[in-house]
Structure 1
Amino acid sequence: MEVGFAPPVSGSWATPEHMIHVARHCEQLGYHSLWTFQRLLVPADLGWSETYHSVHDPLTTLAFLAAHTTRIRLGVAVLNVPFISPVVLAKQAATLDIFAGGRLDLGLGLGWADEEYQATGVSKHRRGQRADEFLAVLRALWQQDVAERHGEFYQVPPTRLAPKPVQRPHPPILLGGHAPAALRRAGRLADGWVSGSQADLTGIGEAVATVKAAAADAGRDARALRFVCRGAVRVRTTTPAGRGPLTGTLEQIRSDLGRLAAAGITELFIDLNFDPEIGSPRADARASLRTADEVLEALAPAR
């Protein structure tokens, strides 16, 4: 199982200097990847988790980190497809892949926040069908010299997108979501699946199996798919009551990584942004960075 890390993107510790520090430390220690996430808005009453109160744009962050790294892969988990045109994203992702030297992993999802749907002017109606068509437009623009699509949701006249991404036929596309339909879509159409921050990691093997079954039903090689887990790690000095996966001491968390690999996860990235003691605007930014360095050293992949 490959191991990645999420740079500071949420809360008080998410400064450019801290991002560079963490990204370079990850690369020095042999981590496989860096991952961001998207949150456009937060309700005025701040009723959501503090992790979502102050979040940087994911693609801009990855472009910034591409300039400060050389090897490590750069992923977003996830961008929500209803909120953006596939043509705009095709151009942005192609440019980022070029700037990064072919290191982009593109995670896509459907979103869940009614406020973001309303603010971006889109409807949840038939959003699954919209996602299918979105993927077809992306691939056409990246792979075809002249692309043309006339669908229910997107109309693309005969046009050319250049320059193309470095990775051919295109950057890997991973789909998020935990609903059965979302898991089946990942198996049918994507290069893999990525779990969310609220995923039940004790049953993640069932989600992996659903994706693989859908791939097999579609005549695809399920063995070629990637299964990426967002590891919402919470390091504590003592064992919490009712401890769940990835919460507890560093030794306990290390043992959890092995169980996730046994469940079929091929890649996991450690994400401290979802720890309320770190990814909050109220957290002590310097203490958060010290914790990140400790975790990076303790859970670094074997080299």
Structure 2
Amino acid sequence: MRGASPAPAAQAHPRREPGLRRRRAPPRGRRAGHRARVKLSVEFPSVAYREGPGAVARMARAIEQIGYDHIDVFDHVVMGYPIAGRAAGPYTPTMPILEALMTLSHLAAVTSRVTLGTEVLVLPQRHPTLVAKQVSTLDTLSGGRVRLGVGVGWQESEYEALGEDFRTRGARMDEAIRLLRAYWSDAQVDFDGPHYPVTAIAMEPKPPQGRRLPIWIGGMSEPAWRRVGWLGDGWLASRVEDAAGARRALDAIRRHAEAAGRDPATIGLQSMVAPPPRDAEGKRFYAEHDRVVARVAELEKLGFGWAALNATAVFQAGARSVDAMIDALGTLHGKIRAAVG
């Protein structure tokens, strides 16, 4: 591990989320006799902007009023076209994606209860000093409602467009997470890292949550699970294909957390209910409400304390306006709560 010592991060996670327990057997995700209510997140649909700024605000307020617990915003700054030497990505290059932190600042102004986050901000594409300031400001103006989700990303062309090194993104991610926490807690920041050294620097105001502002980490690989275990307040899974795959990931996170001297039970778990649709079958998923409810129930049984519904996928499933997406999300919320609490 490069950069500052991991010890402070290991000390800064007193909250206990449903999910990992301190044992090596496959997790059940709940203490004996305890059944926590699975929390529901919505990944906000950038497509709402097509109906104007008022529709974006109306969508956010409706998600809160329906009863969802959290709103996440997707992140890509640019998308690369497939050209010679560059394979096509999973999304069309012209997919509309609003800038994540600016969108969250708008959502913070029109909501009051839901927590707000990114799923996920591609952290190594940005300088962490600026991210620390932006997120601290967002937490301040939202009244302490921010949960930062971060990942290393996959799109080399996006890194190139932003002038950042794709090859070092993993090491810079680890270092950036530690630097963010230093900015959010230390009166004077002195940080001896090979990528982001800082000497005698102050940043004010601190976020209301301080160093405890949760940083959840996305990724579906062993390096990502190692990063969650060592540094993360939670894991953001973009997909969970089956129970065996979920247990393999959770066992890896637990193993790395214990190696770092952390209690694995303090690490929260969220999964997308279904990955972004890439075929006709995927696009039908959110129109078949019983499948969505069953999937949330499966995630809860695996130990996930959070389940995330992708509102863009709801749009692709046939809810082709903001009002239609609101109606669909309201129906899904009611059915999920009736089935799993």
* 3-state SS of paired residue (1:75): strand
1:212 Cα deviation after fit: 2.0
Q: Does 1:201 align with 2:241?
A: yes
Q: Does 1:64 align with 2:101?
A: no
- In structure 2, the CA distance between the partners of 1:244 and 1:45, relative to structure 1 (3 Å rule), is closer
Which of 34, 50, 63 matches 1:26? 63
Match of residue 220 from structure 2? 178
Q: Deviations over 1:4-39 (max 9, x none)?
A: 112221477574233222221121122100010101
Q: Does 1:155 align with 2:194?
A: no
Question: In 1, distance between residues paired with 2:323 and 2:222?
Answer: 37
Which of 253, 266, 270 matches 2:305? 266
Question: In 1, distance between residues paired with 2:226 and 2:148?
Answer: 18
- Compare 14-23 and 259-268 and name the one that shifted more: 14-23
| Contact persistence 2:150–2:216 (CA under 8 A) | yes
Match of residue 38 from structure 1? 75
Question: In 2, distance between residues paired with 1:138 and 1:182?
Answer: 18
- In structure 2, the CA distance between the partners of 1:23 and 1:295, relative to structure 1 (3 Å rule), is same
Matched residues, number = 291
1:244 Cα deviation after fit: 11
Question: In 2, distance between residues paired with 1:186 and 1:14?
Answer: 38
Question: In 1, distance between residues paired with 2:127 and 2:292?
Answer: 39
| Contact persistence 2:49–2:56 (CA under 8 A) | no
- In structure 2, the CA distance between the partners of 1:119 and 1:244, relative to structure 1 (3 Å rule), is closer
| Contact persistence 2:44–2:74 (CA under 8 A) | no
- In structure 2, the CA distance between the partners of 1:234 and 1:60, relative to structure 1 (3 Å rule), is closer
Question: In 2, distance between residues paired with 1:17 and 1:11?
Answer: 9
Q: Deviations over 1:83-142 (max 9, x none)?
A: 111110000000000010000000111110011011111222232221111111111111
Q: Deviations over 1:181-233 (max 9, x none)?
A: 1111111111011122xx34323343223212211221111111111112347
Question: In 2, distance between residues paired with 1:106 and 1:4?
Answer: 14
Which of 44, 53, 62 matches 1:7? 44
Match of residue 316 from structure 2? 277
AA partner of residue 201 (structure 1): E
Question: In 1, distance between residues paired with 2:42 and 2:290?
Answer: 17
Unaligned runs of 5+ in 1: none
Match of residue 116 from structure 1? 158
Q: Deviations over 1:125-160 (max 9, x none)?
A: 232221111111111111111001122101212011
- In structure 2, the CA distance between the partners of 1:24 and 1:54, relative to structure 1 (3 Å rule), is same
| Contact persistence 1:234–1:248 (CA under 8 A) | no
Question: Superposed, which structure 2 residues align to 1:282-297 within 5 Å?
Answer: 285-286=320-321, 289-297=323-331
Question: In 2, distance between residues paired with 1:224 and 1:245?
Answer: 35
1:248 Cα deviation after fit: 5.6
Question: In 1, distance between residues paired with 2:43 and 2:168?
Answer: 32
Question: In 2, distance between residues paired with 1:276 and 1:30?
Answer: 19
Structure with more of its chain in strand, by fraction: 1
- Compare 53-62 and 205-214 and name the one that shifted more: 205-214
- In structure 2, the CA distance between the partners of 1:3 and 1:115, relative to structure 1 (3 Å rule), is same
AA partner of residue 170 (structure 2): G
Question: In 2, distance between residues paired with 1:184 and 1:9?
Answer: 31
Question: RMSD of aligned C-alpha atoms?
Answer: 2.8
